[in-house]
Amino acid sequence: MPVFERRTLVPHDRSTVFTWFSRPGALVRLTPPFAGSVRREPEGLDVGSVARLGVGAPGSLGLGLESTAGLARTVLPFRLPQWFAPEAPWTSLHTALEPGHMFRDEMSSGPLKSWVHTHSFEDAAPGEADTAEGRPGCVVVDHIEYELPAGAVLRRKGAAWSRAGRWTEERLEEELARQFDFRAAQLRSDLDFHAGFPIDTADGGPLTIAVSGASGLIGSQLCALLTGGGHRVIRLVRGGSRAVTPPSADTVIWDPAAGRLDAEALRDVDAVVNLSGETIGGRLTESHRDEMLQSRLAATGLFARTLAELAEDGRQRSLINASAIGYYGAEAGAGPDGEGLRESAPPGDDFLAEMCLQWERATAPATRAGVRTVMIRTGLVLTPAGGILQQVLPLFLLGAGGPLGTGKDRNPWQSWISIEDIAGLFAHAALTGTVEGPVNGVAPHPVQSRDFAATLGKVLRRPSAVPLPSAAPTAVLGSEGNRLLVEADQRARADRALDSGYAFRHTGLDDALRHVLGR
């Protein structure tokens, strides 16, 4: 039976590492966005707990299929079911557990004949990966025994069949190597992040954080990051929602459109993270524009009023509210001083700028009541699971990708941020009591459109020099949508995020793309 094994050195002690694996969110954080999705988390590591995943095809084929299906769900005029994805269902069962030392999961149904994954945790040798406190680090050993469909039969056949079977095993192990590179980076970065917010000290402790939009692109990663640090997350779910939540998760039913939210359900929270709002995508018709605006004002206003009402009890709470760099306007460029858009820059005068301005102003009741309020002005979030990267991947993988929004004497700035860093920045704002006001949710080094395309092409090993004609995005988004979203020129600065103590995982575009794409 073929065997794949990976040893990962982690500069955190074994108890800390094992505890992280045992908390909700670990599987979500370890599942690469280029490899599939988590449909149901296991209830801890206990024997008998079950996890359900969707597994994509390996390599560029899987990446192309996943991004095309996601793009179709975004732009089609009708809503595709959530299960419409080119993923094979995978169910695993936890079959062994030695707390602090190992656990095992086995595929009970899925695309392979068999799969047994043993996770072992060992103390690192002295000096090999010591913790900051001088304690031994940890070696995480992933030992996988697997069998391909008909794999044993192929090995028993003639030389040609044997070579075919081995070639298939090599391709699978190449894909596993990509995934475990991603997992190692995620594990180290998450543990480093949590080390900055210890919950077992006299000054610290686990917080209770309510999150709206918890099943969305950013929300799902944010919730998993927070629970991985030992914090309690309450997910706000609309009545009748089909959003998938982890087993035994804390949930609160609310209806922002009707103004319904039980204030008592938030009395014990330390922070509310509001990610609600109709997606910014598709054609900007009058009805879509109104839905985008009203959904944001309704949710934000409801949270702000509720937290203001609760503030009378004297407990310090925070509101971490989403916003966007669209605040500055689609033609903001490098700002009034030519050095980049600081949070003090004036708002623009187009539709998205006016929406962001009203969105942020809706937090006023909370601010007046003394609630610490933060507005994260998010840039272009990089992940193949959604957003701009998902939209351009199919073309780039076909070799037909190129710069967006360019033309004669035009090369707009694109302020990007990795999915890991935007989730990390929201968590940082919730856990750091000194952050207030608007904060640009962008990486420190924005790039221009031609550089973005060239970097993506290099990472994917595809040509990227020919600019994409505006007719394609205009056909999907309309002329206004193309101007405000695709051709937007905004060079936002990350100074406030850095000054607040946030340590970016990905400061360079090449590094960020290689991480989220497994390249």
Model confidence at 66, pLDDT cuts 50, 70, 90, reads confident
pTM attached to this predicted model? 0.93
Two structure tokens written together for 473: 């995005």
Beta carbons within 8 Å of 478's beta carbon, 6+ residues apart: 283, 284, 285
Q: Give the pLDDT confidence score for residue 134 in this predicted structure.
A: 73
Helices (H), ranges, 311-448: 351-361, 364-368, 387-397, 419-431
Window from 100-109, 162-171, 367-376 with minimum mean pLDDT: 162-171
Between CA 154 and CA 148 the distance in angstroms is: 10
Q: Domains of the chain (ranges plus CATH)?
A: 3-195 (3.30.530.20), 208-514 (3.40.50.720)
Range 354-361 average pLDDT = 98
Q: Give the pLDDT confidence score for residue 409 in this predicted structure.
A: 80
* Cβ proximity of 283 and 474 under 8 Å: no
Residue-wise pLDDT tens digits, 419-471 = 999 999 999 999 999 999 999 999 999 999 999 999 999 999 999 888 877 77
**Percent of the chain, pLDDT > 90?**
69
Between CA 214 and CA 191 the distance in angstroms is: 22
Determine how β-strand 380-382 pairs with β-strand 372-378: unpaired
Between CA 37 and CA 141 the distance in angstroms is: 23
Q: Is the pLDDT of residue 258 over 70?
A: yes
Q: Is the pLDDT of residue 79 over 70?
A: no
Q: Give the pLDDT confidence score for residue 167 in this predicted structure.
A: 81
Determine how β-strand 87-98 pairs with β-strand 102-109: antiparallel
Q: Is the pLDDT of residue 31 over 60?
A: yes
Between CA 161 and CA 286 the distance in angstroms is: 60
Beta carbons within 8 Å of 198's beta carbon, 6+ residues apart: 204
Residue 186's SS3 state is: helix
* Cβ proximity of 200 and 216 under 8 Å: no
Sign of CA dihedral 484, 367, 212, 186: positive
Q: How many CB atoms lie within 10 A of CB 76?
A: 11
Q: Give the pLDDT confidence score for residue 84 in this predicted structure.
A: 58
Residue-wise pLDDT tens digits, 85-140 = 678 999 999 999 999 999 999 999 999 999 999 999 999 988 777 676 777 899 99
